[in-house]
Structure 1
Amino acid sequence: MYSWIWRHLPFGLAGKLIGTLLLATAALALLWFIVFPWAEPLLPFDDVQVTQDGYETGDSDFDLPGDGPNPDTGESGDEHAIPYDTTAPGDGG
């Protein structure tokens, strides 16, 4: 296909180079202004939903469940804490 286009562009090497740049620019403009705006609503890239359903926000916007002690029980509330030592003897840690 590219060789067919190259053979049919007029005006020698300079005309072929300029014609190639014009065709490439036209193809990019067609994609940028017509195809991509048409396809954007069909693509899921902007469908990001971050919510905090079920969480009550405290004084700070960065309060997350598990931060700080539980007011009812006094426990730390960190449900992801590992209840055993993860360092092996000799690790230096």
Structure 2
Amino acid sequence: MYGWIWRHLPGNAWVKALVSLVLAMAVIYVLFQYVFPWAEPLLPFNDVTVDNQ
């Protein structure tokens, strides 16, 4: 998969590295801004099974 992406990016190796870094940062931004907040209420991280006794 990464080889396919690398072959389809424009430019030489430096331009490809810069474009791939920008793409990775964009994916991380979208995950933290939209995907993780949407999925957080659906995940059982706050379901604690230990009672205070």
Q: Distance in 1 between matches of 2:50 and 2:33?
A: 30
Aligned length: 53
Q: Could you tell me which amino acid in structure 2 is paired with residue 31 of structure 1?
A: L
Name 1:19's counterpart in structure 2.
19
Name 2:40's counterpart in structure 1.
40
Equivalent residues in 2 for 1:1-93, closer than 5 Å: 1-48=1-48
Q: Distance in 1 between matches of 2:20 and 2:9?
A: 8
Compute the displacement of 1:50 (Å).
Answer: 6.8
Q: Distance in 1 between matches of 2:31 and 2:13?
A: 27
Name 1:77's counterpart in structure 2.
none
Q: Distance in 2 between matches of 1:44 and 1:30?
A: 22
Q: CA RMSD in A?
A: 1.9
TM-score when scaled to structure 1? 0.49
Whose helix proportion is higher, 1 or 2?
Answer: 2
Compute the displacement of 1:14 (Å).
Answer: 0.8
After the TM superposition, which segments of 4 or more aligned residues of structure 1 sit over 6 Å from their partners? none
Q: Answer with 1 or 2: which has the greater Rg.
A: 1
The percent of aligned pairs where both chains have the same amino acid is 55
Structure 2 regions of 5+ residues with no counterpart? none
TM-score when scaled to structure 2? 0.81
Name 1:82's counterpart in structure 2.
none
Structure 1 regions of 5+ residues with no counterpart? 53-63, 65-93
Q: Distance in 2 between matches of 1:39 and 1:29?
A: 15
